[in-house]
């Protein structure tokens, strides 16, 4: 089997990672990297218990992380390497709400944490897979979720046919009308507010506009 491996000089790799982790939002207002997101909602009856995220990154960021952490160049991350990716490249995203916004009515929040993180490589690209615990009775009210980076350092798009529903065993559920309906749309009624001049430790979620804030309208997934 042909292995797809990429490597950047160590200094460039560290610079790239530090830019992603440390620069304040005011210096990174335009996307410098991108990811494609797949989302599988886990259903138990009419209750959504969580969502599996699978993010595939652009070639440059992929090369940086793979080159730094796939130390034996075997095209995969073993347990030790996966832990290093989690600790050095992924977990900082908790300061940005994991790029995940959950809305119930007028209230938007970020997940308290994520579970079962796994990094792997697919045709030379870096992929993150992890589980977001949720608890939403879809019979009572819909669930709205957006994957979005309010710093605009990372551009996010949803994969074509990449959003669906599975059961607790991972089995794909039938298409509507048998399963809950899923729509994806830009929601201008519930914008996201962000501070373009915010310091690197400004991770506040703004629910209302304030002077100096900018407005963004993420693509929001609605399941009901």
**What tokens were used for 48?**
């959504």
- Give the number of C-alpha atoms closer than 13 A to the C-alpha of residue 213, restricted to the C-beta side: 16
Q: Which tens digits make up the pLDDT trace of 82-106?
A: 999 999 999 999 988 999 999 888 8
Task: Encode pLDDT of 105-152 as tens digits.
Answer: 888 899 999 999 999 999 999 999 999 999 999 989 999 999 998 777
- Residue 158 backbone phi and psi in degrees, to 5: -90, 140
Q: What is the pTM assigned to this prediction? A: 0.80
The number of residues making up the chain comes to: 224
CB burial string 177-215: b at 16+ within 10 A, e below? eebbebeeeebeebbbbbbbebeeeeeeebeeeeeebbe
Listed range (36-40, 77-81, 169-173, 179-183) with the worst mean pLDDT: 179-183
What average pLDDT does the segment 46-58 reach?
96
Domains and CATH numbers, the chain: 10-223 (2.70.170)
């Amino acid at each position: 089997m042909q292995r797809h491996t990429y490597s950047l000089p160590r200094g460039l790799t560290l610079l790239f990672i530090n830019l992603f982790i440390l620069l304040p939002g005011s210096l990174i207002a335009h996307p410098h990297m991108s990811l494609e997101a797949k989302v599988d909602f886990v259903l138990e009856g009419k209750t959504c218990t969580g969502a599996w995220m699978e993010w595939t990154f652009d070639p440059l960021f992929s090369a940086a992380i793979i080159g730094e952490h796939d130390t034996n160049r075997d095209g995969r991350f073993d347990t030790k390497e996966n832990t290093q990716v989690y600790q050095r490249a992924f977990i900082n995203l908790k300061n940005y709400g994991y790029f995940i916004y959950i809305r119930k009515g007028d209230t938007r929040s970020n997940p308290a944490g994520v579970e079962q993180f796994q990094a792997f490589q697919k045709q030379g690209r870096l992929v993150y897979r992890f589980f977001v615990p949720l608890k939403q009775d879809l019979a009572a009210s819909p669930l709205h979720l957006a994957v979005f980076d309010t710093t605009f350092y990372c551009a996010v798009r949803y994969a074509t046919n990449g959003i669906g529903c599975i059961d607790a065993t991972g089995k794909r559920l039938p298409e509507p009308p048998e399963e809950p309906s899923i729509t994806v749309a830009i929601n201008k009624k519930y914008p996201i507010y962000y501070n373009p001049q915010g310091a690197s430790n400004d991770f506040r979620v703004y629910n209302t506009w304030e002077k100096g804030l900018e407005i963004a309208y993420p693509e929001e997934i609605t399941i009901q």
